[in-house]
Amino acid sequence: MDEKNTPSAAGSSTTPEVMTEIIRQLAAHYGLWLAESVQRLGLAAALDAEREAGDRFFSILSGKLGRALGLSPQELLSGADREMLDRLGMALRSAWLAADGVWFQAIEGAAGMAAAKQVNDACWSCFAPLEARRAKAILGLPDRGGIAALKAALGVRMYAHLNRWEFVEETETSVVFRMTDCRVQTARTRKGLDDYPCKSGGIVEYTGFSREIDPRLRCQCVGCPPDPHPAEWVCAWRFTLEEG
């Protein structure tokens, strides 16, 4: 008897390991589309495309997951209490940070620290503007929201829930953002290691993020490793609003 494989037969063999592999490949494929779009179209056009594709994709994904579980898209997480959602959110955010770290280590092992930093900075040059756009969409921020919009957007970043931070020296046209506790640097300190020299990546990250929030914003590094810094903070960034 001929043996034929069908989509339903293939699905019946799904194990937890297979489910993990599906998620891994889904995330990689989505990211590769974005990366290649940046190369082909430029960052601004690629982020426009991501907004359209991402909105459509997650609507489709919610519908498919709902049908698979016998729920409406609105019911997928409606049964979870606030505490559970907070735990789930923290787990996913910390997994995001871990993914960043293991990729850095893999590239460093393959090609050295300089190459890993170049890849890291290139990734942040795309991700920081994307994160800013998502913050604006989630919070309904205007395109030229100034310091107030920047503060609100910084407060919903991935890092905002993983590290401790503060705003100081605020005026109508400027503010200093300080990271008072960084998970990455704290972990290195526990291991007796020097601070990771993240200044080049930070300049790319905070400049790209702030300009996407409001193109009038300018970012200046007050201090970031390998710069010396006081015990009260790890890195600090001054944002200034230029009229025009």
What does pLDDT average to over the chain?
A: 89
| pLDDT value for 171 | 93
**Strand ranges for the chain from DSSP E:** 164-168, 174-181, 217-223, 235-241
pLDDT at residue 241 tops 90? yes
Amino acid identity at 52: E
Mean pLDDT for 116-121 is: 92
Tell me: the pLDDT tens digits for 70-111?
Answer: 877 777 777 777 888 888 889 999 999 999 999 999 999 999
Q: What does each C-alpha distance from 42 to 39, 77, 98, 124, 192 come to in angstroms?
A: 6, 36, 28, 15, 41
Residues 6+ apart with CB under 8 A from 108: 115, 116
What the block records as the tokens of 206 is 């905070």
Instruction: Work out the pLDDT band at 244, boundaries 50, 70, 90.
Output: low
Extents of the domains making up the chain: 113-244
Residues 6+ apart with CB under 8 A from 239: 147, 150, 174, 175, 176, 177, 206, 210, 217, 218, 219, 220
Tell me: the pLDDT tens digits for 170-220?
Answer: 999 999 999 999 998 998 889 888 888 899 999 999 999 999 999 999 999
CATH number of the structural domain 113-244: 3.30.1380
